Amino acid sequence: NKFMACQYLMQFHEQQRRDKVIVFSDNIFALREYATALRRPLIYGDTSHAERTRVLHAFKFSNEINTIFLSKVGDNSIDIPEANVIIQISSHGGSRRQEAQRLGRILRPKAAALAAMASGKEVKVSESNHNAFFYSLVSTDTEEMYFSTKRQQFLIQQGYAFKVVTDLIGDADKSQLQYSTRETQIELLEKVLRLGESEAGEELLPEDEDDIRARG
């Protein structure tokens, strides 16, 4: 499931590549559940300014935090050029603008390269130290697949390549991940079904309300 895929990718990039990872979720329930279970900080609309500053500083300047979970507040109001990996577990339908914003985050020149260029030095970027990764986790046989196809078409139009992976996790690795058993998966599903619409839905930001009024 998505949770295991997210945990697997997060551990791979943190432990084996020492990357900086952003996990995006527009669904606030999923954001809290993932961040709490995986013991990583999260930032969303109700996060205090002090907590947001603390988390972002640690993510940018230390190895204390290498993965953060962000709601869609991170699409516009937070600048994190250090990140080079994005895992998208929930997105705003087929929004191409959102896809472009998130993809642009990990394609920006990093701080060291910018400093070198500013000093007039020649910057040589090798394939090994300039890898950016963008993962979009999609549940099969759902509406997500339709929206995912629309976003893929947009990426192709922009000149990007992508690969669909359906067998990411080997059987030997699954047992080491959370929610790997049928019992724990059913328990999580029952928890989701008990939620009210407001708890299980997407975060509504001021710009979303503007879009709704404009469409009306």
pLDDT the model gives residue 19: 94
Task: Work out whether the CA dihedral 94, 100, 105, 107 comes out positive or negative.
Answer: positive
pLDDT the model gives residue 125: 45
Report pLDDT digits (tens) over 56-93: 999 999 999 999 999 988 887 788 888 999 999 987 66
pLDDT the model gives residue 205: 61
pLDDT the model gives residue 150: 78
The whole-angstrom separation of Cα 115 and Cα 104 is 19
The whole-angstrom separation of Cα 83 and Cα 101 is 13
pLDDT the model gives residue 204: 64
Rounded-to-10 torsion of CA 5, 65, 71, 94: -40
The whole-angstrom separation of Cα 30 and Cα 38 is 12
Report pLDDT digits (tens) over 41-53: 999 989 999 999 9
Please report how the helices 28-38 and 2-11 are oriented relative to each other, as an axis angle in degrees rounded to 10: 50
What average pLDDT does the structure give for the chain? 80
- Count of H-run helices and E-run strands, the chain: 10, 5
Full-model pTM: 0.80
129 has a pLDDT exceeding 60: no
What is the rounded average pLDDT of the residues 155-172? 84
pLDDT the model gives residue 155: 76
